[in-house]
Amino acid sequence: MSIVDPSTTTSSPEDALHGLEDVLHPRPTRVGVVNYINTLPLITGLDRLEGMTLVPEVPSRQIDMILSGEVDFALCSVIDIVHAEQPMSVVPVGMLGCAGPTLTVRLFSSVPFRDVRRVHCDSDSHTSVALLKVLYRERYECDLEIVPFDASVPPVITGDDAVLLIGDKVVNHSLPQALTAHEMDLGEAWFEMTSLPFVFATWLCRRELVEEERRRIVNAARILDRARRRNTDRLDSIAVSRNREFGWPDASLARHYLDDLLRFELDDQAILGMTTFLKLAARHTEPISFIDWS
């Protein structure tokens, strides 16, 4: 098998991954993915591989696809590690995270945050809602009332209600101007509170696997790791070529977002941040299970 070293080539990300298909099993490996601009560094090029099928869905649906057998593993909200109906393992070959502002997980309010008691929350993400609850308990000793809503339909806002949006919708929203009087970046608020990175999503699979399933996931994990490494070396190109597709106003903002604000490698500090969050959000004290893919 010939594998192209992405650090020494100017070829496309797809070219850098070709040659890896023969490590996949005869049946395509089904991978749950999210169609936001922030996932592109993790998944660009994978759709060209014959041995891998990408299944796009919103973050909150990813864990259900694993449990139902629709996919072998998926890019899931981190809080699903503890809330899933079956034990989950982390496939540690990438994440969506930050160490400070994230830009695209944002609370909007017409009143000061300490006066907010009810929040209309974008139903696309489980982790962002859980993080908001943690921040309010720790900062204001307050338990919020959460009202889920579909971000494709404007929520009905009354009184001092606030709105939580995630993803590309944050940069192209049409919220009333009064709601933008106060804005909280949840990634920034978490870092101010803990001095730790925050992990919004990472790859998960079922913990209980037969040997064939484990081999399939390990082989696919090697490809995902290579794709992430290759793509994070070309974030500028991704921002310039794909920003309009996701409704971003200009390439420079998308470039700043992908290159300066986000983190994609699940390193030791990110794992510490993830563990700390799960303890605060769900009183989870058991060690997190990881797939050994190396």
Specify if 129 maps to a domain.
yes
Round to whole Å and give the CA distance between 222 and 83. Answer: 27
Same domain, 91 and 237: yes
Round to whole Å and give the CA distance between 76 and 79. Answer: 8
Chain-centroid distance, C-alpha 72: 17
* SS3 of residue 217 by DSSP: helix
pTM of the predicted model, to two decimals? 0.89
Same domain, 54 and 25: yes
Question: Cβ(56)–Cβ(35) under 8 Å?
Answer: yes
Domain finish residue from 154, 179, 194: 194
Same domain, 212 and 165: no
- Domains of the chain: total: 2
Same domain, 26 and 169: no
What pLDDT does residue 176 have? 86
CATH of the domain at 190: 3.40.190.10
Round to whole Å and give the CA distance between 129 and 131. Answer: 5
**Helix/strand/coil (H, E, C) string of 128-180?**
HHHHHHHHHHHHHCCCCEEEEECCCCCCCCCCCCEEEEEHHHHCCCCCCHHHH
Round to whole Å and give the CA distance between 23 and 215. Answer: 10
pLDDT tens digits, residue range 197-240? Answer: 999 999 999 999 999 999 999 999 999 999 999 999 999 999 99
What pLDDT does residue 1 have? 27
User: Do the strands 145-149 and 118-122 form a parallel or antiparallel pair, or are they unpaired?
Assistant: parallel
Round to whole Å and give the CA distance between 22 and 29. Answer: 12
Maximum Cα interatomic distance, the chain, rounded to a whole number of Å: 63
Specify if 14 maps to a domain.
yes
User: Do the strands 73-77 and 105-109 form a parallel or antiparallel pair, or are they unpaired?
Assistant: unpaired
Question: Cβ(265)–Cβ(94) under 8 Å?
Answer: yes
Same domain, 64 and 31: yes
Sign of the Cα pseudo-torsion (184, 106, 144, 190, in order): negative
Residue 3: is its pLDDT beyond 50? no
Q: Distance between terminal CA atoms of the chain?
A: 18
What pLDDT does residue 7 have? 37
pLDDT tens digits, residue range 59-76? Answer: 989 999 999 999 999 999
Q: How confident is the model at residue 8 (pLDDT cuts 50, 70, 90)?
A: very low
Same domain, 94 and 229: yes
Same domain, 256 and 149: no
pLDDT tens digits, residue range 232-288? Answer: 999 999 999 999 999 999 999 999 999 999 999 999 999 999 999 999 999 888 999
Token pair belonging to 46: 């994978």
Give 184's DSSP letter.
E
Boundaries of domain holding 114: 105-194
